[in-house]
Amino acid sequence: MSRIKNPLIVPFLTLATLFAQNNPTPARVADVLRAEIMSQAAWAMEQPPATVTDFVCPRSAGGKHDFYSEGDYWWPDPDHPDGPYIQRDGMTNPDNFVAHRLAMIRFSRVVGSLASAYKITGDEKYARQAFRHIDAWFVNPATRMNPSLEYAQAIKGRATGRGIGIIDTVHLMEVTQGIRVMEKAQAADAKVVSAAKDWFRQYLKWLTSHQYGQDEMKAKNNHGTCWVMQVASFARLTGDHELMNRCRDRFQTVLLPEQMAADGSFPLELRRTKPYGYSLFNLDAMAMICQILSDDTHDLWDYQTPDGKSVRKGISFLFPSVAD
Amino acid sequence: MYWDEWPVAHPFLVFGALKLETPEWFETWKKLDHSPKVEEVLRNLPVRNPVIWIESQ
Within 8 A of A318 by CB-CB distance, chain B residues are 12
- pLDDT over 50 at A159, yes or no: yes
Indicate the range of A87-91, A164-168, A177-181, A234-238 predicted with least confidence. A87-91
Q: What percent of chain A has a predicted confidence (pLDDT) above 70?
A: 92
Q: What is the pLDDT of residues A16-66, one digit of tens each?
A: 555 556 789 999 999 999 999 999 999 999 999 999 999 999 999 999 999
In this prediction, residue A11 has a pLDDT band, given cuts at 50, 70 and 90, of: low
Q: What is the pLDDT of residues A119-136, one digit of tens each?
A: 999 999 999 999 999 999
Closest alpha carbon within chain B to A23: B23
Region A141-155: mean pLDDT is 97
In this prediction, residue A276 has a pLDDT band, given cuts at 50, 70 and 90, of: confident
In the prediction, which pLDDT does A54 show? Answer: 98
DSSP A253: I
Decide: A301 and A311 in contact? Cβ < 8 Å: yes
Closest alpha carbon within chain A to B10: A284
In this prediction, residue A14 has a pLDDT band, given cuts at 50, 70 and 90, of: low
In this prediction, residue A204 has a pLDDT band, given cuts at 50, 70 and 90, of: very high
Region A243-267: mean pLDDT is 96
Report the b/e string of A183-199 with b at 16+ CB within 10 A: bebeebbeebbebbbeb
CA A310 to chain B, closest CA, distance in angstroms equals 12
Element (H, E) at A68: strand A68-70
Contact (CB<8Å) B11/A177? no
Region A277-299: mean pLDDT is 95
Contact (CB<8Å) A112/B3? no
Complex ipTM, two decimals? Answer: 0.95
Nearest to B1 among A29, A170, A277 (CB): A277
In the prediction, which pLDDT does A2 show? Answer: 42
Nearest to B48 among A19, A112, A277 (CB): A112
More confident residue, A11 or A30: A30
Residue of B4, B50, B6, B37 whose CA lies nearest to A321? B6
Query: If DSSP codes are grouped into helix, strand and coil, which group holds residue A200?
Result: helix
- Round the average pLDDT of chain B to a whole number and report it: 90
Indicate the pTM of the whole model. Answer: 0.92
- Straight-line distance from the first to the last Cα atom of chain A, in angstroms, rounded to the nearest whole number: 41
- Count Cβ–Cβ pairs < 8 Å, chain A vs chain B: 146
Q: How many of the other CB atoms lie within 10 Å of CB of A265?
A: 18
Which residue stretches of chain B have pLDDT < 70?
1-3, 56-57
Rounded alpha-carbon distances, angstroms, from residue A78 to A75, A82, B52: 9, 9, 48
